[in-house]
Structure formats: C-alpha cells, structure tokens
Structure 1
Amino acid sequence: MNSLSGKTIVVAGATGGIGEGITKLLLQHGAKVVALSRSEEKFESLRVYLSGVDTGNLITMQADLDQDQEGSYEVYQRLKERFGGFDGAVVTIGTWGNANRRLIDVSDELWDQTIKDNLTSHFRTLRTLVPLLKTDGALIHLSGLSADGPYPGAGVIGLTNAAKKSLVLTMAAEHESTGPRIYELIIGPIRTRERVARGVARSNWYNPEDLGVFISELIQGDTEAAQKPLHYMIQPGG
C-alpha cells in the first residue's frame, strides 16, 4: 500500500524509539521521509533498523530545532531551500530528564530545565516546521497522557504536556481557515524496541507503527478523523 507515494514528510525525533517506528511506517507507505535529529551518530542506527524497507525514500539531516528565533530561521531556510514545502510533519520529541519527583521537591533549576526541554523546544520546533507545510499539508504533534490529568510523582512533566496540548490546539485553531491542518495526538505507553528489550513492554500497548498508520491517515486528510484536531491512542480497543 503506497498511499503516501509522492508526499514528502519531515519527522522531528525520527531516531527515537517512537520516531523510528513512525518513520518506518511512512516509508512503507511510499513517502519520502526527511528524518531530523541533533545527533548524526543516531542516524546510523536508524539506517540499520530501516535497511529492510524497500519502499519510500529516507533522507537524514542533522538539525537542532531547539534554537532561538535567529537559529530557528536558519534551520527553516536550510529545509526550505533543500525540500521546498512539506506535505506532512511529525513531531515526536521530548525528554523525561530528572523530573521523577513531587512538585514540591522540584528545584528552580530542574523547573527551568524541564520547561525548556519539554515545552520551549516544542514551541520552537512548531515555529520552524509549520511555515514549511503546504496549505493542504498536516502536522501531527505527539504528547503524553498526563496532558489530561494529575501526574503525581512527575507533575512537572504532566504540566508541560498540558501546556503543549494547549499550544498545539491553539495553533490548530489559528490555522483552521488557511491551513495547514494541525493535530494533537495524545498517546499512552508505547511498545518501543528499547522497552521490549528491557522486558517492560506490555502486549496491550500500541506499537510505534500503529501510530504511524493513524498519522498517515491524518496526513492524507480524507477520513472523518482528519476533520478533528485532537486525537487519542491510549490502548487498543480502549
């Protein structure tokens, strides 16, 4: 099934456990995928993982999307000059860091670092990628389930997820009449390769490729789901 044949899709966080699976699915559906990562070294592992995929076209590009306005514009220019407009974009970035503690125990330093890593970086990424999308294109941003409720023991992660949800849905509303389409996808725990290897992945979790299937449908834009900006993939059958 080459439903994405002829489309160019950029994936921020393509070398991560979730990003690599989404990238694989998009390639299997025939897309040209521009995989972004800050680390050139991680691309080799991605290429090995995707070596058996004989459809689509993988292009890797080292780029740091978490920069100030001047740096963000330089990345925008590099992508614009090389690829023109994108049909789709996927944002699956973020880090847990040392935020596994009660809010009352969070230091100013940890607070500032977590906000930077798990909120500011997402804003900067969206600021760079949204203007690169075609008016009929689509951006899908992934956030964790803690966006919707209390997250005792790691509340600073939960509050950044809630803020990201608001950020993305606001951008979706601001672009509703002009395009591109912007989606927030709230996810539960995912069966990444790393979690499977550690023996902590459960059989009733979604695989990264499952996310990729749904994301490909949103990019195509011809399903009922594509008409709504907010979606959930928490547990199969749930």
Structure 2
Amino acid sequence: MSETSEERVLAGRTVLVAGATGGIGEGVTRALLRQGARVVAAGRDEERLARLAAYVGDTGPGTLVTEVMDVGDADGSGVRDRLAVFGALDGVVITIGDWGNPERTGILDTSSEEWERMIAANLTSHFHTLRTLTPLLKKDGALVHLSGFSAEIPYPFAALVGATNAAKKSLVRSLTAELDGSGPKIYELVIGPIRTRPRAAIGADNPGWFSAEDLGRHATRLIAGDGPYAEAPLQYLITRAQGVRTSPPQ
C-alpha cells in the first residue's frame, strides 16, 4: 500500500513513542505523523526532544506532543499520571535500548559492573516500560516492541547486547501469551540494521536495510489493525530483500 493511500489511517488516534529521540524513534515518529496520529514523543532529555520537534517540523497531518519522562522508571505512577491527560492510548511503540560499551569485549573480560549496568539499562528498563504502558492502552490498541536480531544468533564480543535482546524478546512473547487476546495486541519486531540519520552521518548506510520510517509505516499498519501481519505477534524485519517474515531468516 502506498504512503498516499495510507494517509490519515491513524487520524484521531494517539500513539506514544518511547525512545522517540533516538535514530529509530525519530523515523517512527515521522511515519506516524504522516498517517495522522497524535504522537506523544517520550524521552528523558528536553534538549533532544526539542531537536526532534525541530526535525519533524510540520510533518503532518498528525500532531506532535513532547513529554520529558523516563518510561523505564521503576515507579511508573508519575508516567501514568502525566499520560492520563491523553486518555487511553491507541498505540505504543517501544524503541529504547543501550548498546553498552562501544569497545568489543569478550564475555570473560566483561566486568560485573558492566553486566549489572546493561541488565538495568537494556532489560529491566523494558520490564518497567511494559508494566507501566501496557495498561494505558485501549483493549483494541497495540503495543509494538523492537528488539535486535542479536536475540537470535551468537553475538561474540557484544554478548550482553545479544543476551538482553533475547531476554526482552522472551519477556514480550510471554506477555502476549499471558494476555491471550484479552487485552491490547502485543507485537515483537526483531530487526536487523536500520537506516537512520545518525548512522548515515557516520557513513553506515545501506539501501538494502529497512529505514526507521519503514519501521514506522509497518507499526502504523499494526496499530491500525490491518494488513497481512496484523495477526502475527512475532515478526522479523532483517533486510528489504527478505521482507517481513514470521520466522527467523536462515
């Protein structure tokens, strides 16, 4: 379906993007705005949210609201109180994460401190986010959670990223099973490398990768409840050539 024919498919709907100021988050935000959503862009840094607002500019026909908040905070009451003004949410997209130490480090050389930090930043925060945001969704709403493909494969010298991605995937899949159709739909998207502005700025770009806005357009269809993948709680978006899959590509 073309972008034009999808236009305004989320008109009148409210979607929260957790991690909206990241490279993937800003692309998802733009795509949702193009489809008419009221996008609540959540982030922890006011300056980065201001830069996001400047970047998306008058992208429309949707409207952007920025909220400085930590959706991964252990006490979600403040987040819930802040979001109450928007009423029940139609959609949530969770694109938060931490790559950890940029230096490649083997498992046997990883400190206990780095292990604990990564568990807190890249797993516990997702548990808190799911626990806080899922009950804010309408019963017919949708939550879209992103994890990296390192959840599926060995990830030497960056094993903490892979381990936390695998644990996040399991957490989300278990939530889907627990709700068992009685609440909002929960989608786990396992993604490969994604084209983003920050990556392009350092020369890491490949037309064979999905873009951040591609992910946003896909999330749009899931939140709208249509398209061929609306009933598939687990999906893989690794490369454009492989397309959207419901089982890991070989």
TM-score bin, normalised by smaller chain: over 0.9
* Residue type at the aligned position of 1:195: R
- Report the equivalent of 1:87: 90
CA distance in 1, matches of 2:57, 2:78: 31
CA distance in 1, matches of 2:60, 2:93: 21
CA distance in 2, matches of 1:132, 1:224: 26
- Report the equivalent of 1:13: 19
- How far has the Cα of 1:223 moved from its partner? 2.5
Q: Deviations over 1:21-63 (max 9, x none)?
A: 0000000000000000010110111011111413101000111
* Residue type at the aligned position of 2:96: I
- How far has the Cα of 1:105 moved from its partner? 0.9
SS of match in other structure, 2:99: coil
Q: Does 1:61 align with 2:67?
A: yes
* Residue type at the aligned position of 2:197: R
Of 32, 40, 45, which aligns to 2:51? Answer: 45
* Residue type at the aligned position of 1:94: G
SS of match in other structure, 1:224: coil
- How far has the Cα of 1:224 moved from its partner? 3.1
TM-score, normalising length: structure 2: 0.92
- Measured on the aligned residues, the alpha-carbon RMSD in Å equals 1.0
SS of match in other structure, 2:122: helix
SS of match in other structure, 1:118: helix
- Report the equivalent of 2:246: none
Q: Does 1:204 align with 2:208?
A: yes
- How far has the Cα of 1:17 moved from its partner? 0.3
Of 145, 165, 172, which aligns to 2:169? Answer: 165
**Where in structure 1 do 4 or more consecutive aligned residues deviate above 6 Å?**
none
Q: Deviations over 1:53-81 (max 9, x none)?
A: 1310100011112222xx2122112212x
Stretches of structure 1 that go unaligned for 5 or more consecutive residues are none
SS of match in other structure, 2:83: helix
Q: Deviations over 1:112-146 (max 9, x none)?
A: 00000100001111111000000000000000000
Of 25, 29, 38, which aligns to 1:32? Answer: 38
* Residue type at the aligned position of 1:121: S
- How far has the Cα of 1:222 moved from its partner? 2.2
Q: Deviations over 1:70-118 (max 9, x none)?
A: x2122112212x1110000000001112163111111110000000010
CA distance in 1, matches of 2:185, 2:19: 20
CA distance in 2, matches of 1:235, 1:131: 33
- How far has the Cα of 1:175 moved from its partner? 1.2
* Residue type at the aligned position of 1:31: A
SS of match in other structure, 2:15: strand
* Residue type at the aligned position of 2:234: L
User: 1:1-238 residue pairs with structure 2 within 5 A?
Assistant: 1-68=7-74, 71-80=75-84, 82-98=85-101, 100-238=104-242
TM-score, normalising length: structure 1: 0.96
Percent identity of paired positions between Structure 1 and Structure 2: 51
CA distance in 2, matches of 1:229, 1:192: 25
Stretches of structure 2 that go unaligned for 5 or more consecutive residues are 1-6, 243-250
